[in-house]
Structures are given as C-alpha cells and as structure tokens.
Amino acid sequence: MKIPTLLLLLSVLCAALAKSTLLDKFDKASSKNGNVVKLNDRSYDELIQSPERDFGVAVVLTAMDERMKCIPCHKFAPEFTSLATQAKRSKNRDSIVFASLDFMDGQPIFNRMGLNTAPSLYYHPPYSSKGQLYDFNRNGFIAERIVDFVNTHSHTKFRYGRPVDHTKTVTAIFLFTVVALFAKRNWKTFTKPFLLSKWSWCMVTLIIILTMTSGYMWNQIRKPPQMVMTKNGAQYFASGVTNQYRVETAIIGAIYALLASTIVVLTISVPKIQNTSKQRLATYLWTLVLVVTFSVLVHIFRMKQPIYPFKLFI
C-alpha cells in the first residue's frame, strides 16, 4: 500500500514541478519586457497549447512595426503593460501571464487564426487553448475594461488602480490662475461686459448643448478608440447607434454646429438685410447649406443603422 501511495505523491509532485517550471520560464521572460512576454510563433504554441499550463494567459496579437501604421496598437500597448505590471505585483500574480505576439514575429499564427486586424486580445483560461476574444470596438482600450474582461472569464479576480497623473491637475490650476488674473485685470473692459451680455451666455449655452449632444460625455464614460483600422483603411464611424469613435464625435459636433449656425443666420441675420435681392440670395444660399448639411447627417446615421427607415418612401 505504501508503494502506490508514494508513486502517487511523486507523480503529483512532478506535475507540480512541471507547472512551476513552465510558469517560471515565462515569468522570467516577462520581467525583461515590462512584465509582458514577447512571443514568437514557436513560444506562442508552447505557452497556449501546453496541457500542463495551470495559469491563465492574456495575450494581445498586435502590429507594432511602423510599416503597419497600427495606431490602436501603439495606443493599447501602454495600457496593457501597466495592467501587467500591477497584476504581477498582486497576490494572484502566479495565476496569469501577460504576453504579446507581434505580426512580424508570428505571421503563421495570424494566418492560422484568420486575423486581418490588430490589436486582438484573447484570454486563455488554465488548461484550455480556446481563448475568449475581447471586443475593442465596444469596450475600448483602457485597462479597467481589460480587468473586467479577465475577471469575467477567470476564477481569480484582479484589481487595477490607474496611476495618478498630476500633469492634468497642475495644468488646470495654471490655466485657471491665468484666466482669473486676466479677468480681474480686464474687469471693466472685458469681463463685466461679457458677463452681462445675453449673447455671451447664449454662445456658452450653445457650445455646451452641442458638446453634449455630439457624444462628448459618452466618450468620457466609455473611453472608445479614436478610430479603428481595418483592411480597407481607417474606419471613422462605428456601426450601430449605441457605439461611436472619438473622431466621429468631433465630426458630428461640427455638423451640429454648422446646422445651428445656419438656423441662427436664417432667423436673425438674413431678415435684417435691407436689399431685397441680397436678402433673397442669402436665403437661398443658407437654405442650401442647411439642406446639404442635414443630408450629410442623415447619411451618416443611415450608414450606422441601415435598417432604420431614413427614406421618404418605403
């Protein structure tokens, strides 16, 4: 009875040592690259396909070479490295390995997986080569969302605390001080007339309305990407009315501003023109601007949601 028991203990011990060796190997490799293992096509299969792997793997397939011009890849890299650094300092550091595979180092892997966009982030649970794909278009590039994604598919829970950036705070204090000094020094000539003018408050209110309706607050909450690179080039408009990119917000805000300015001109400025011919010409011109601009807006929304009945006749 003692010999089988001893053999069983030895097999368990050997298995544990093998797992520790695999983890130790990739932990040492990650310590040389900001806690992110830099893989190639061979080490990728060794890490992901290993049946002895008792830890999870978060691996990003990226394209950092300048010739690839992958802006999202360069944007995501610091977030991924920051998350890996904090995870490796936590008490659960032995339950996950963070890795990256660049296109130039692993083209066979990209071809085998049928990937034509980057970055692509997968989380592979322990003992499983099947990965869960992270949706960058919906969730964005920030580390907090990556933590939520990993925690959803992992039994081990991680936390991420974003490092405090004092640069923005110092800049805000400096700008506020400059504005306050300027307002005090020019109280009679500029500040007081500005505060008592209805047009000043009208302009401020209009700017706030245009900013909010264009999706600025949604961007601050959801942290979407600037845009997305596809095989057909840059994509500036996200599909669906519940998603958008930062560039899209700027474009929509500019269109709203032009529409609002057109209405203001047609209702306030044009009626004040004394010359009848010039007034008629201005009316036609600004009405044309209004129609064309609104048509562009409708076309954009139709691209985002083709099933919506934007046509006059269905």
Residue 62, domain CATH: 3.40.30.10
| 100-123 mean pLDDT | 91
Does any domain span residue 158?
no
Domain residues for 216? 197-304
pLDDT higher than 60, residue 121 = yes
Tokens of 180: 């306050």
Whether residues 31 and 100 share a domain: the answer is yes
Q: Find tokens 């944007």 and name the residue.
A: 75
pLDDT higher than 70, residue 146 = yes
Helix ranges restricted to H, the chain: 2-31, 41-48, 71-87, 107-113, 136-139, 143-153, 166-185, 192-196, 198-213, 216-222, 246-264, 276-304
Instruction: Mark which of 97, 125, 153 sits at the end of a domain.
Output: 153
Does any domain span residue 14?
no
Percent of the chain whose pLDDT exceeds 90: 33
CA angle 127, 130, 136 (to 5 degrees): 125
Does any domain span residue 47?
yes
Please give the biggest Cα pair distance in the chain.
Answer: 112
Q: Which of 75-89, 196-210, 269-283, 297-311 has the lowest mean pLDDT?
A: 297-311
- CA-wise closest residue to 265 among 285, 280, 286, 279: 286
Instruction: Mark which of 137, 153, 169 sits at the end of a domain.
Output: 153
- What are 186-228's pLDDT values in tens digits? 998 989 998 999 889 988 988 888 888 888 888 887 778 788 7
Does any domain span residue 167?
no
> How far is it, in rounded angstroms, from Cα 252 to Cα 275?
35
Per-residue confidence (pLDDT) for residue 5, from 0 to 100: 54
Does any domain span residue 49?
yes
| 145-151 mean pLDDT | 90
Whether residues 133 and 209 share a domain: the answer is no
Whether residues 203 and 145 share a domain: the answer is no
